Amino acid sequence: MSRADAARPRACLRAVALLGLSLLLGAVAAQSLPPEYEKLAQRLPADARARLQANAAQWAAWNAEQRAAFATRAARWSALPAPERANARERYAAWLALPADERALAQAAAARYAALPPEQQQALRARYDALDGSLQRGWLLGPSLGLDYAALQPLLAQLPPEQHEPMLRVLRELSAQQRKDLAVLVQRTPPQARDALRRELLATRWDERDGWFWHKLGQ
């Protein structure tokens, strides 16, 4: 058995323990924890413990009607198919990762969509549903990167995990024209050389990017 295989059961047990602890904290927020749960709580990372304590405090502050409403929402969530729950988690995580200005743009777009007549909403929905799945997921990056995602997708395909956050940060720092220039570079670059292009871009300081683009486009 590999080390990774051996670690999976422990990870599952930790997840189950955390879930049980969070439920217990919610149910007995105003009471002392049993010794075995108190010891487990003390072993949690400080941020995880703080989140659980905040959830417990919120639960304790709710009245019976609010707790019943939450229980109803939780039951509806649990009844959803697993792929639908995973999709919702991914979208929520993507929303949390958006900068404040991108969230504002997305909220404004949602408001404009909600104000459209039903037939126009259906037409836009049909256009979205017809997109390739990777392009749909590209819109999770927000209005600006979502608009450029189709042109940049070859650069982002098979992106190593350690480059994911740095690359998104760089792409959001680029101007609209720089992203267009990058899309041209991506199309010019053969697949086997795109990893080197990514590394060059990530290693280039923000105040040197105009020169970098000028040099690369002129090659």
Residue 167, pLDDT score: 93
Phi and psi torsions of 142, nearest 5°: 110, 170
- Per-residue model confidence as pLDDT tens digits over 99-126: 999 999 889 988 999 999 999 999 998 9
- Record the tokens describing residue 30, joined without a space: 């105003």
State which residues of the chain have pLDDT below 70.
1-39, 41
pTM for this model (two decimals): 0.66
Give the Cα separation of 157 and 86 in Å (integer): 21
Per-residue confidence (pLDDT) for residue 208, from 0 to 100: 93
pLDDT of residue 14: 46
Do the Cβ atoms of 135 and 149 come closer than 8 Å?
A: yes
Q: Hey, what are 75's tokens?
A: 């039951």
Torsion on CA atoms 32, 34, 36, 41, rounded to nearest 10: -30
| Among 125, 128, 164, residue whose Cα is nearest residue 146 | 128
Q: How much is the pLDDT for 175?
A: 92
Q: Report the chain's mean pLDDT, rounded to a whole number.
A: 82
